[in-house]
Amino acid sequence: MSDRYMWFEGVPFPTMGFTPELMREAWESFVFKDEDVLILTYPKSGTNWLVEIVCLIYSKGDPKWIQSVPIWDRSPWVETEYGYNSLKDKEGPRLISSHLPIQLIPKSLFNSKAKVIYLIRNPRDVLISGYFFWRTSYFVKKAESLKEYFEWFIKGNVPFGSWFDHIHGWMSMKGKENFLILSYEELKRDTRSTVDKICQFLGRKLEPEELNSLLKNSSFQVMKENKMSNLSLLRGQFFDEKNGILLRKGVTGDWKNHITVAQAEAFDRIFQEKMADLPQELFPWE
Ligand X SMILES: CCc1ccc(OS(=O)(=O)O)cc1
Query: How far apart are CB 130 and ligand X at their closest, in Å?
Result: 9
41 binds, among ligand A3P, ligand X, none (CB under 5 to 8 A by kind): ligand A3P
248 binds, among ligand X, ligand A3P, none (CB under 5 to 8 A by kind): ligand A3P
**Does the protein bind ligand A3P through residue 223 (CB under 6 A)?**
yes
Query: 99 catalytic, yes or no?
Result: yes
Alpha carbon of 70 to those of 7, 184, 194, 231: distances in Å?
Answer: 28, 22, 24, 8
Stretch that binds ligand A3P, among 26-34, 38-46, 101-109, 257-265 (CB under 6 A): 38-46
Pairing status of strand 6-8 against strand 11-13: antiparallel
Query: In this chain, which of 8, 18, 27, 49 binds ligand A3P, going by CB under 6 A?
Result: 49
* Size of the residue set binding ligand A3P (CB under 6 A): 20
Pairing status of strand 179-183 against strand 115-120: parallel
Q: Angle at the Cα of 165 (from 85 to 54), degrees rounded to 5?
A: 45
Query: How far apart are CB 285 and ligand A3P at their closest, in Å?
Result: 13
16 touches 238 (CB < 8 A): yes
Nearer to ligand X, 138 or 206 (CB): 138
Q: CA–CA separation, 132 vs 134, rounded Å?
A: 6
**Does the protein bind ligand A3P through residue 248 (CB under 6 A)?**
yes
Nearer to ligand X, 43 or 61 (CB): 43
16 binds, among ligand X, ligand A3P, none (CB under 5 to 8 A by kind): ligand X
**Does the protein bind ligand A3P through residue 48 (CB under 6 A)?**
yes
Q: For residue 135, give the DSSP letter.
A: T
Strand ranges inside the chain, DSSP E:
6-8, 11-13, 37-41, 95-98, 115-120, 179-183
Which one-letter amino acid corresponds to residue 161? Answer: G
238 binds, among ligand A3P, ligand X, none (CB under 5 to 8 A by kind): ligand X
Integer-rounded Cα Rg, in Å, for the chain is 18
Q: Is 67 helix (H, G, I), strand (E, B) or coil?
A: helix
**Does the protein bind ligand A3P through residue 125 (CB under 6 A)?**
yes
Residues found near ligand A3P in the complex (CB under 6 A) = 41, 43-49, 125, 129, 218-220, 223, 246-250, 254
